[in-house]
Amino acid sequence: MDYGSKSKNVLRPRPKISISASHAALAKPDAAPRRPAVMQAPVLVLNATFEPINVTAVRRALVLMLKGVAQAEETQTTEVHSTSKSVSVPSVIRLLSYRHIPQQSRALSRKNILLRDRNTCQFCGQMLSASDLTLDHVMPRSRGGRSSWENLVACCYQCNNRKGDRTPEEAGLTLARRPRPFTLHTSRQLMRLIGHKDEKWRKYLFY
């Protein structure tokens, strides 16, 4: 736009967005700087029977509520706004229909490995962001090491470079804990850790 032009610019009214037409409309708080932190905050997910089954982000929890799949059981004082509605940020949501949760391990993925290891390097013990962590094969792939729950761990780049194509013992490194599959039991342990500072979670984490 040429701000030196003498021609008048016509301002058009901003169109209103219907909540029923877009999930994204509800997912935008007024204060833009707070949006990432608020929308990524953890929310405890309960089954219809009030059994804790997962932890998700506020953004996903709001979508589930908007679809009528879940309802809020506990909320925070913070609110998110659309053009016509304000909604309290959920802390605990409950699914309205019972979901069968299988006992087997979660899918093997980078996200789940980092979640299992609590975003902590399993060699030096630093807790870092996901972008500052990589995955390390305890037994190097060059020696037949597989990409499995029992052979993959979260690792910072410094320790990963130090270890190289060697075993932890050969590199003078020690594993914080033996890597294991991510089971429902592991998931519930993490729920308790994440919800330790949120008293709204405590009465649901008795399983």
The larger pLDDT score, comparing residue 130 to residue 124, is at: 124
Q: Are 161 and 193 within 8 A, CB to CB?
A: no
Q: Which residue is associated with the tokens 């996901």?
A: 130
Q: How far apart are the first and last CA of the chain?
A: 60
Query: What are the pLDDT digits (tens) for 4-13?
Result: 444 444 445 5
pLDDT classification of 104: cutoffs 50, 70, 90: low
Lowest mean pLDDT among 79-83, 116-120, 125-129: 79-83
**Identity at 145, one-letter amino acid code:** G
Question: In b/e form, how buried is each residue of 20-45, taking b as 16+ CB within 10 angstroms?
Answer: eeeeebbbebeeeeeeeebbebbbbb
> Cα–Cα distance between 25 and 17 in angstroms, integer?
7
Tell me the average pLDDT across 121-133.
93
What are 170's two structure tokens? 């050969």
pLDDT classification of 126: cutoffs 50, 70, 90: very high
Tell me the average pLDDT across 30-45.
69
> Cα–Cα distance between 166 and 39 in angstroms, integer?
40
Tell me the average pLDDT across 38-66.
90
Domains and CATH numbers, the chain: 24-104+183-207 (no CATH), 110-171 (1.10.30.50)
Query: What are the pLDDT digits (tens) for 82-96?
Result: 778 888 999 999 999
Average pLDDT, the chain: 81
Percent above pLDDT 90 for the chain: 45
Percent above pLDDT 70 for the chain: 76
Reported as type and span, the H/E element at residue 194 is helix 184-194
The larger pLDDT score, comparing residue 113 to residue 107, is at: 113
The pairs formed by 96-102 with CB atoms below 8 angstroms and a separation of 24 or more are 96/48, 96/68, 96/69, 96/70, 96/71, 97/48, 97/69, 98/47, 98/48, 98/49, 99/47, 99/48, 99/53, 101/47, 101/53, 101/184
The larger pLDDT score, comparing residue 44 to residue 207, is at: 44
Q: Is the pLDDT of residue 105 over 80?
A: no
75, 64, 83: which is closest to 25 by C-alpha? 83
CB atoms within 10 A of CB 64: 20
Lowest mean pLDDT among 24-33, 45-54, 179-188: 24-33
Lowest mean pLDDT among 26-30, 47-51, 138-142, 179-183: 26-30
